[in-house]
Structure 1
Amino acid sequence: MREVSFHKGANFVVDTEDSKRHNKVGKTTFLKLIDVLMGAQNRSHIYTDQETNTEAIELRDTINKKRIAAEMTLSENLDAPYGKTVELKVELFPRGRYFIDGERMSQTNYRSKLNELLFGIANNVPTFRQLINSFVRVSVGGDDNAFLRTLTRASIATYRSVYNFLFDISDPELDSKLSQLNAQLNRTRESLRQYMRVNGVEDVEQQRQILVALEGEYAQAKAQADDIFDADEYKSNRDAIASVRAEYASLVDQLSELDYRIGRNREALNNARAEKQRRADLELSRRFFDEVCTMLPNLNKTFEDMVSFNDKLCDNKISYFEDIERDLLDERTSLENEQKALLASNSQFLSLVAKDRIDEYERLSANLMQLRQDIGRCQETVDTLDRYDHELASIQENIASYSTGGSARKGKGGEYQEMMSSFNGYFTHLAQQINGEKPILVYYPDTDKFPVSITAISGSSTGTRKSLIAAFDLAYQQFAIANRIHTPRFIVHDVVENVEGEDLRTIVNAANGIDAQYIVAVLKEKLDSSNIPEDEQSALQILQLSEDDKLFEGKTVDEAESSDRMIEQLASIP
């Protein structure tokens, strides 16, 4: 469909439409193609608006129908002769394949091979996509140092690995180990947090003091139990104690029952005696008897016979209750003797029973058992928290041993202060040329901090920030060349409309003076307003797009070709 050749210095992808109609012709899409050839995860972003998540359906269907692929030639040198070249190819349609020098491979292997080609990294640490985002900035926004955070949802350890490699501050293998240690540290901290939450624990000192309190309570309860009974003796004679206690309790129950029966019998006996002592009115009884006799002519008993019978009846009742009392008292005496004999033969056991302290002892024993369980749980918690503390201390000690500053962390370029000084020598000078600012890049050896930041910038506008990104990336190219760091010799930037005209002109001049490629999407009207001459614009322009000549709908499209392709030529130093 198109063949585009890149050159050293500034490379313009130009949108010739006026400001009311631009951003629809494909200049950002062209940069996305470069990102796809650099192993970007999702090829659908070519025809998807990331802000609105809407698809350009016509473009999507064109890619799928024509089975379009993008190709790129990486060359060893930026100037002829170009030396060794490598051909990259990525099929843009769904489930499209990846190729390097015609060899088909998975996306993972494709990225690993690019990591070796463009960064000289054979073990893929850091990964290619972690590094290439510092060179291919398809979408850069924000008015702060956000452009330093080139990755999505990456840890501080990952960023440290990336910047340590880019500035040759340490061995990537050590950075990988540091990243693993930091990940392990975070996992251990989270595990500890969850353990403490589930077990209702605040800290280990709290648990140690609870443990001391429980042990003190246990010692006190055990002393009380020992005062009542020897624990070993109680355990060894538990069955005998239980049997004697049951027998003793039975005797006590029988005695209580007898006392109740004796009391009731004595109450009946007293009533019988009281009844006999009461003397009725015999004269009244006689008149009543005579009256009844007239009604019963055959009655052969006299009034005196009736009085004598009633007296004998009372005497019999008294005698009966007296006999029962004697029997009950005899039975009670027998039970008391039996109880005394039981106490005499089991004195070592029943001394507690007689004082009713067995229940107290068993209560104390149950409390001691519960306290032992509580102490065991608390001790386990303390031991677990101690293990966490030791594990965290060990991990942090290992992290400290991998921290920047030691000989093991020193890159071949020198200490981090030397590398920052080298970079800032280019960065501050270039930024001052572009917009008058004097920023510096600060490196933090503390592994808990984000590794780098920009400082000494005050009140910068969005345009200044855009120009700062260009100054940073161009300065890095100068730094990498000077320090012989194996990285790509190209920079890809999205729109620079917010850069002031004079600043853009300075950026272009700086890019043309560096042995690297600065590829940028820009509006034609922006180039004009920056006072860049037409002949210079023409010389630096690599692709011109318009409403009538869109990226995938250009006049150069050959509808009859059976294999449509896009060739993009970039360069890197091995």
Structure 2
Amino acid sequence: MFIKHLIIKETIPAENIIREIPFAKGMNFIVDAGKDQEKGNSVGKTTILKLIDICLGAKDRKFIYFDDETKQTNEKLKNYIIDNKINVELMVVDSFNEENSSEYILSVDLYPRGKRYINGIETNQNDYWQQLNVILFSNYANSPTFRQLINMFVRIDQRADNNKFLKFLDRTNEATYENIYSYLFELQDQEVSNCILDLRKEIADKDKEIKNFMSINNFKSIDSVDQKVNLLESTIDELNNQMNMLVSSRKFKENEEKISEIKIEYANYNNRIDELLFKRKKIKDILADAKQEIKNGIDEEVLRNLYNETQKAMGNLHKEFEDLVKFNDELMHNKIRYFNSQLEKIDKQTVGLEENKNRLFEKHKNVIMLIEENKIDQYTSLQNKLAEYNEELGSNKNIRSTYKHLESRRAKLVEKLEKTEGEAEVKKDSLSIFNKYFSQYSEKTNGEPFMLYKTEKGFPFGIDSVKRGLSTGTRKSIIAAFDLAYQQLAKDLKKKAPNFIVHDVIETIDQVALGAIINIVNSIECQYIVAVLKEKIKDNDLIEESNIKATLSENNRPFRN
């Protein structure tokens, strides 16, 4: 599929085409007006490329007017897009020459919550991607996804310049990349490749599940759980031995309920006796104080003062002072007699309770003495500990069982993956075909041949001779050679894929590399769409005026505002 044109238009208050950019086979340049008018780095050249990417399913429409680096919003452009309901459409075609060529119009509203359309039919985002996967790749299985594939052909980042090479996607794991490259290079049957990807995802999910399970249950190694189970089992055996030394477990269990009832009754007797003994002590203290008062005698002077004050207050009293002394003496003796009688009652009750307690013990002596030296409390304590340890043992055994189940499931997935990979036929012919073109093209663009190779582990592919520290220009020209080589591979494999390459700014590519790219593009009849400063290409004899598809300036920006 080729890109035939890009149209930017207002839809409110009436439909009005702002800009139409036609494209053709070969080189397609988006340039500035030139240094004689104004600087060309800020006139919106990459905006045109972003619009192509948006029509091809990119989600981030806001970066048309929002600069992610400076976090600044072009409010004028934003309001214009919203107020006039700006829409952009991209036409893709099978061929520029055939009369019956298939045409598809991909249309996207640029304003917030705007819609997407294919041939005028509104389409939600997922359906939009799936249909494009069929239109541009004939990928009905939708694995890999459209956006995973198209990013190798449209190397545009909505946020910033794009220098990505083999890893052309954000936040994508190696298994997904292997599936993508397997599809693009037809390294193995795609159904098998998709199965391998699914298995790797399942294994990754299972690894995450196991990790979370270990974190929740607070262990770092299953061996620590095994050791804990062994230790708990050993401790439980020791507790059982201690209990058996105290009592015959069988006999105790047979009488356990009865012993519990006796213990409660026995404890009640003790509590009541303790209460009576406490009362007895209080009474003894009261009696001691009373007897001491009698022994010390009554303070008659205090009593006389009380008598006189009362007489003054109430007048003539019917009793003499001697009567008061006698009454006070009798009161003290009555107090002693009362508390002595209370003491006798308490002693009698205490004796009765003691006798009842002893009778209770004698009556159930055979049951209680199942335990040596009457160690009921010790046995009960061991019993409680045993219950706690058994509960802990059960919990850890459950953890171990669940962990082993998860590991077993993971092992089966790994086994299935290894079997599937072992049986999968890897086709290396396509890689050899690709490297034939890649080595030729990279030698022309970079002065030395490069090759793509399959790695044993880690990222699935590597580039031989690519070293760290390459300049952006060198990297850009290698990417161009790589993408052009793939165009040739797809033709040789008769594989349906986009016949266009969209790159952002190439100012860092030297003239030799640029000339090589132009010659290669013209020789293989693909589209190469790129933004570049006009100054970079103005003296290049290989570039014709027809190759320049849009010239932008400060007064002639993409939206002409």
Q: Deviations over 1:521-559 (max 9, x none)?
A: 11111113xx512x73314222222334333229xxxxx
Shift of 1:177: 4.1
In structure 1, what residue type is equivalent to 2:547? Answer: L
Provide the residue aligned with 1:387 in structure 2.
405
Query: Which residue does 2:474 correspond to in 1?
Result: 464
- CA distance in 1 between partners of 2:551 and 2:360 (Å): 122
Task: Name the amino acid aligned to 1:519.
Answer: I
* Pairing 1:264-413 to 2, within 5 Å after superposition: 348-352=366-370, 355-403=373-421, 406-407=423-424, 410=425
SS of 1:147 mapped into structure 2: coil
Q: What is the match of residue 131 of structure 1?
A: 149
Q: Write the letter of the residue equivalent to 1:103.
A: I
Which whole-Å CA distance do the structure 2 matches of 1:438 and 1:76 have between them?
Answer: 32
Contact 1:8 1:79 in 2 (8 A): no
Deviations 1:26-50, CA, capped at 9 Å, x for gaps: 2111111211211221323223323
SS in 2 for 1:90: strand
Deviation at 1:125, TM superposition (A): 2.0
Q: For the residues of structure 2 that align with 1:373 and 1:233, how far apart are their CA atoms? A: 24
Question: Are residues 1:551 and 2:553 paired?
Answer: no
How far apart are 1:142 and its partner, in Å?
6.9
Q: Which residue of 2 aligns with 1:421?
A: 432
> Is contact 2:183–2:190 with CA below 8 Å preserved after alignment?
yes
In the alignment, the residues of structure 2 paired with residue 196 and residue 238 of structure 1 have an alpha-carbon distance, to the nearest angstrom, of 41
Identify unmatched segments of 5+ residues in structure 2: 1-17, 281-347
8 A contact 2:32–2:534 mirrored in 1: yes
CA distance in structure 1 between the aligned counterparts of 2:104 and 2:86, rounded to whole angstroms:
20
Is 1:494 the counterpart of 2:501? The answer is no
The counterpart of 1:454, out of the listed 453, 458, 463, is 463
- Aligned match of 1:83: 101
2:25 is aligned to 8
Separation of aligned partners in 2, 1:86 and 1:132: 16
1:532 corresponds to which of 515, 519, 540: 540
Instruction: Point out the structure with max Rg over C-alpha.
Output: 1
- Residues in 1 aligned to 2:181 and 2:149: alpha-carbon distance in whole angstroms: 9
**Which amino acid counterpart does residue 514 of structure 2 have in structure 1?**
L
One-letter identity of the residue aligned with 1:453: G
Superposed displacement of residue 371, structure 1:
1.9
Q: Deviations over 1:32-88 (max 9, x none)?
A: 121121122132322332322323333333334444332322221244557232233
Please report how far the alpha carbon of residue 476 of structure 1 lies from its aligned counterpart in structure 2 after TM superposition: 0.9
Shift of 1:175: 4.2
8 Å contact from structure 1 (residues 130, 162) kept in 2: yes
The answer for the alignment partner of 2:530 in structure 1 is 520
* Structural mapping, 1:62-81, within 5 Å: 62-79=80-97, 81=99
AA of the residue aligned to 1:541: I
Report if aligned partners of 1:462, 1:498 keep a CA contact under 8 Å in 2: yes
Q: What amino acid maps onto 1:10 in structure 2?
A: M
Q: Is the 1:125–1:173 Cα contact (8 Å) retained in structure 2?
A: no
CA distance in 1, matches of 2:85, 2:161: 33
Inter-partner Cα distance in structure 2 for 1:5 and 1:242: 97
C-alpha distance after superposition, 1:423-478 (max 9, x if no partner): 122112211111123322233465xx332232322352221011111111111111
Q: Say whether 1:479 aligns with 2:489.
A: yes
Q: Is the 8 A contact 1:73 1:88 kept in 2?
A: yes
Give the superposition deviation at 1:223.
Answer: 1.9
Match of 1:541 in 2: 548
SS at match of 2:219: coil
Pick aligned residue for 1:198 from 216, 227, 240: 216
Distance in structure 2 (CA, Å) of the matches to 1:376 and 1:349: 32
Give me the whole-angstrom Cα distance separating, in 1, the residues matched to 2:399 and 2:156.
Answer: 52
Contact 2:87 2:110 in 1 (8 A): yes
8 Å CA contact 1:427, 1:439 repeated in 2? yes
1:217 partner letter: T
Count of residues in correspondence between the two structures: 466
* Mapped contact 2:247–2:371 kept (Cα < 8 A): no
Matched with 2:177 is 159
1:323 is matched with none
In structure 1, stretches of 5+ residues that fail to align are 262-327, 555-574
